[in-house]
A = this chain, B = another copy of it.
């Protein structure tokens, strides 16, 4: 079960509200969400991947999984966030409805990075054994430095392993919130404190029982949400009702269940020996690149003169640095960030400021994902707007019309099946068609290659909301 939320505002401008941290491309080109799914599916015994995410990220999530092999995918789509406890409860109720109440649910945030798959699999195997005995199991990470940004777990007595080679497990004595630095130092030297990784394992039955004991109010609010889910036991896409979900408490699984269950001696912690990062800031992303002799790293076309300790993410432009030290520079199509490594936590303040100004760079990238592919605004000026539109093989935009703009389409790659008024025809590369104002039209890719068209819109109003949809494969027509 993947919990895919979190804005990742400290990772702006690569992370945006409409394409947050789990979707952000890492230096290796993969995303945290894709890596998390691969990690889960590589485990022995995984047969269903449940993803809880905002409904706006449904198509983007499916696209991300397109490159991930195997398994059944289930999507639990939230209209808005209600923190982790309701998400976990819904996932568990869904598992029970599918007759998998005794199966172990492994809960993983979508935006963590773990590279040692073997050590991770060992920890999961140990956690699964414990979960099968009815325990609620969490994963602790041995601290490497006195981090004040994570919660900690104090370990109690060791639980003897069934097999000698598996990672050690302990009773959880207590969960501890983010500590002050002095306390974090004590934890580091004490040895029996671990970072709380935010991952869990338990059977669906056990966690629902724990909800009944420790957070009956949350369970009572979540049950009608689950009951209202159409085809709960069979559908791969479950849309959560907004009115019912609004009545659910906004609370984390740690607060609602784990802290109280720990007091009752019901929680175990497996001490993971794998590397683990929550990729909380640009510092963590920069750490993924091996630095050169001057401590510089990054990607794209870079020129570094008298530069040290600087991470540069260059996209389409050259980024040149002269006489600077310890900076993180991130260049994207519509925004540039220049930040000092010691102040990367404050990158989120940029997002706040942009939001306050009503600037859309906090929300959107210049390339916007759609169920059928992507569009990129290449230029916008009074009277016209130019887009590059990419349509996936087999996909189609909705049948639509615009009242205020006409459109010129030039096909530059693939073959477009075009509906233009009453006519339907193919447009080949280096051919074009003109969609007049108020004319029903549709763009479709029936080929095996991606379709790329350049669209020049002309009109007195060019907002995305000038659209009347008649038919849409992705359910975007008004009811």
Contacts and interface: CB of A to CB of B under 8 A. Distances in A.
A13 to B, nearest CB: 7
Contact of A339 (B323, B379, B458): B323
19 contacts: A303-B353, A303-B354, A306-B346, A317-B335, A318-B334, A320-B350, A322-B337, A322-B339, A322-B340, A323-B342, A324-B327, A324-B340, A324-B343, A378-B378, A379-B388, A383-B412, A383-B413, A406-B430, A454-B456
State the main secondary structure of chain A at its contact with B: strand
Nearest to A331: B336
Interface in A346-387: 346-347, 349-350, 353-354, 359, 361, 378-379, 381, 383-384, 386
Nearest to A432: B408
Most buried by B among A329, A336, A353: A336
Contacts of A361: 318
A312 B456 CA distance: 32
A79 to B, nearest CB: 30
User: How many monomers of this chain does the complex have?
Assistant: 2
A406 B432 CA distance: 12
A221 interface: no
Contacts of A350: 303, 305, 320, 322
A288 interface: no
A383 B346 contact: no
B303 A321 contact: no
Interface string A309-332: 000001011111111100101010
A354 B318 contact: yes
A13 B379 CA distance: 21
Nearest to A350: B320
Nearest to A322: B339
Nearest to A305: B349
A301 interface: yes
Interface in A285-319: 301, 303, 305-306, 314, 316-319
